[in-house]
Structure 1
């Protein structure tokens, strides 16, 4: 295959992996407006809902390392598409479960397949970056945020007018269509581990990859707080409708999408470290004001500002993970995503317990602190500033 054919394959793979990011984000965004409805249907308090969200996180944390192991043998394409197939039915399984124990089982499955797909699609994005010889990670996450914006925005309206089950069925159909359209063009990355003599599985001994994981962890705790509790905060403490409550996450995800589509260019101009520092300060200010505000419109606007800041923090951390010297991209990505997503998956359960006692306002004020910590540790993501090979790079695109 000549250079032009390789480039064409990589470009199609770029849009295919963007489709996977959109699919995953659409599913997560569709879940956000379902959370208050789940609590109402099961007649449970915030503490019980927090346990269910914890189960979701435990599923993801269990499946993420498994995704890394499978990718070392089969590559990110086969693993990503396999878990994407399972994701198609995940939300419907949760909404169809009639009681708390069955919901807990469905939540474990939901979290597991979403988390495993996330690791695989991020690894596939790193493979596309290497084939195109330029960064695409921020804009790939932009498609995730765009999916979250569409899923969250439409979800509240559909649930309000047609009910939670009808919404879950429509999401299942939409996900199946997206997967069929994207699957054919996802690139097949052959990892070097698969062709070598198999070695015992062990954790990497490079400290930097764990520190990058800690950066992702502290950045993703506030993101998880807005995803899982933003709608409940707006509905229960500020008294808005379910459709308006869904706008909180929708505008947060929409703001992230816009900034992520320009994030690769911003990073190329200012560098990963400086971009990380500025992003953290903006995010901290947004989430701090969201906690202080007595007005729903200002909380929603502040969530959008937080989205502007958070937009490029995680993509930079993931790009740094995939470019760590001395370890494969799949290993680095598996470690950092597992550590990082514990913030977005496990921390919200603790937030639920805290909010039941002190309210969500104080919780959001406190969550601005981890972002300041990430700002101070921004030097850890310098590995994200890799130099592309301009001789084989194709035309600039999103």
Structure 2
């Protein structure tokens, strides 16, 4: 108990702000790119299929980078990885910004995805290092601030689009701002803590516990990806709402997820991660399932809101559990879980589309609700454990 009441050292508070800077920067970088997709599509004369190829390039870059960054973060320390990785992520915006053809755009987005993936894993590993210093939950708030960064990036991008600011100029200014933010943030991080044991455990594959955590990340990310693409279509096509009402579903889902993440650390401190994940899984599964089965626009929107509330704290707790099981290989464990989570994000829209083709959209969207109930059943896997020797 005395450890919980001890105030964090000044260096730990600075490191917390440093990690916050990286989470905001990563969200802002992604928001900057997504906000100008329509302009880039028009400038390059791309069709929807070519845009899909470009978007897939980001995923390819991220997944490939995640296979390498975990070992680097474990071997040399997450702080040493974040320095060059943050600058690379900022600079990689310039390639798609100045791209004059689809091949250049795809190559640039592979680099952007790689930079984003490296920073994602390394900053989560460093977040776990800072949380251990604090001896209380602080990780969920970091994820909330990633969402804030996304809103900042997309909001500035919307203004830039409204002002008809050329994409190259916009992305150049954004890259400079991001470079300044990550440089300032990096100076606040904790000193690098390389783990010699990481080299000796290099050959060890994915443990059953990490695999299960990865399955939970996949399940939640599948639901999140499904909401982005299919919730507007469900409201518009299945329930015959107007386009304006159809857009509300995902907005409510995203807003509730972001808001609840700011409350998550207090909830996990009070109730513990197992109770929080189990409760969140039940809220997500039962809430969305009931909303869909009611076959009513108001009920569906409430269901989407409950789904956002439920998913809000699960992924951060899954990452926290993965990063704390063995500090000597936290980077690789996080990379493995992140890769599976990213797979769920990509697979979600496709899975829902395939099931819809054979049944209907209501039945298809019950799949993410059912997976949330599976997450609730598997909640004990996030229980804190002593580091594995």
TM-score, normalised to structure 2, is 0.80
Structure-2 residue corresponding to 1:191? 194
Mapped contact 2:28–2:153 kept (Cα < 8 A): yes
Structure-2 residue corresponding to 1:81? 83
Which stretch shifts more, 304-313 or 355-364? 355-364
Secondary structure of 1:32's aligned partner: helix
Q: Does residue 260 of the first structure (1) align with residue 261 of the second (2)?
A: yes
Structure-2 residue corresponding to 1:395? none
**Offset of residue 90 of structure 1:** 3.0
Structure-1 residue corresponding to 2:377? 376
Between the aligned partners of 2:216 and 2:18, the Cα distance in structure 1 is 28
Q: Does residue 175 of the first structure (1) align with residue 182 of the second (2)?
A: no
Q: Does residue 347 of the first structure (1) align with residue 353 of the second (2)?
A: no
Structure-2 residue corresponding to 1:98? 100
1:163-213 deviations in whole A, cap 9, x for unaligned? Answer: 5615434432331232233121011231322xx594373243531111111
Q: Does residue 338 of the first structure (1) align with residue 339 of the second (2)?
A: yes
1:257-292 deviations in whole A, cap 9, x for unaligned? Answer: 322222111012222122112223444467665999
**Offset of residue 298 of structure 1:** 9.1
- Count matched residues: 374
Mapped contact 1:149–1:253 kept (Cα < 8 A): no
RMSD value over aligned CA atoms?
Answer: 3.9
1:67-126 deviations in whole A, cap 9, x for unaligned? Answer: 112112221001112211111133342243233222221221111111111000000011
Secondary structure of 1:201's aligned partner: coil
Structure-1 residue corresponding to 2:46? 43
Between the aligned partners of 2:110 and 2:355, the Cα distance in structure 1 is 23
Distance change >3 Å, CA 372–CA 275, structure 1 → 2: same
Which stretch shifts more, 54-63 or 87-96? 87-96
Structure-2 residue corresponding to 1:54? 56
Which stretch shifts more, 117-126 or 162-171? 162-171
**Offset of residue 320 of structure 1:** 0.5
Q: Does residue 14 of the first structure (1) align with residue 13 of the second (2)?
A: no
Structure-1 residue corresponding to 2:218? 217
Which stretch shifts more, 277-286 or 175-184? 277-286
Distance change >3 Å, CA 249–CA 171, structure 1 → 2: farther
Secondary structure of 2:203's aligned partner: coil
Which stretch shifts more, 170-179 or 284-293? 284-293
Where do 5+ consecutive residues of structure 2 fail to align? 1-5
Distance change >3 Å, CA 306–CA 84, structure 1 → 2: farther
**Offset of residue 26 of structure 1:** 1.5
Between the aligned partners of 2:352 and 2:39, the Cα distance in structure 1 is 16
Where do 5+ consecutive residues of structure 1 fail to align? 388-398
1:299-349 deviations in whole A, cap 9, x for unaligned? Answer: 8876655432222111100111012259632232222222222222x3267
Structure-2 residue corresponding to 1:114? 116
Aligned pairs for 1:217-236 (under 5 A) are 217-226=218-227, 229=229
Between the aligned partners of 2:8 and 2:18, the Cα distance in structure 1 is 15
Secondary structure of 2:319's aligned partner: helix
Secondary structure of 1:162's aligned partner: coil
TM-score, normalised to structure 1, is 0.78
1:123-171 deviations in whole A, cap 9, x for unaligned? Answer: 0011101122222111111211221232234433432442561543443
Q: Does residue 138 of the first structure (1) align with residue 110 of the second (2)?
A: no
Between the aligned partners of 1:96 and 1:321, the Cα distance in structure 2 is 38
Between the aligned partners of 2:294 and 2:170, the Cα distance in structure 1 is 33
Distance change >3 Å, CA 48–CA 377, structure 1 → 2: farther
